[in-house]
Amino acid sequence: MAKTTLYIWHESQPGKRELVRGMWERHMQSQITHSGGLIASSYVDDPVDLIRSHARLQFVDHESQNAFEASVAYSQYIWEVLPLLSHKPRITEAVPQKIPGGTTPSMQTNRPPSRNAGKSMPAITILHDFVAAFCKKLAAKNRNNIPRSHISRKP
């Protein structure tokens, strides 16, 4: 049994985010408390963007997640909340993926395998490689954006 996490991303119409949250609590609270396969749940408002929010639901297995999505309460919630949203909710599923050093939930992607696929590497080495590549790209980008008059030259 592999745990799954479901993210439901909402983009409400301006000024309607509190109504969307209220509908989530009204329709989904009983479903969440009575769902046997639900491990954890949260509903978060984006602190920066006043129209975005998301729900995070962690399930014991994929079957529990499917049962939740097929429930009457979820269908009623979607039906009633759609007029308050800019577009349909975006649903993303996160599943555990094996990485060297353990298992962690991570987002499913369609990326090609990394250059280190199949090799056992400590997690710190992977993180170091990522940070080094990011810093290199950032330095190259900033080098091109700095006016020539601001570049100091040693005598």
102 and 116 in a single domain? The answer is: no
Question: pLDDT tens across 106-149, in order?
Answer: 444 444 444 444 444 445 555 666 667 776 776 666 655 555 44
Instruction: Using the Cα atoms of residue 17, residue 24, residue 92 and residue 87 in order, give the sign of their dihedral.
Output: negative
Gap between the terminal Cα atoms of the chain: 66
Task: Tell me if 125 is assigned to some domain.
Answer: yes
- Find the domain containing 131 and state its range: 112-147
Question: pLDDT tens across 52-87, in order?
Answer: 999 999 989 888 888 888 888 888 899 999 999 998
46 and 99 in a single domain? The answer is: yes
14 and 79 in a single domain? The answer is: yes
- What's the token pair of residue 4? 């799954």
**pTM for this structure?**
0.60
103 and 118 in a single domain? The answer is: no
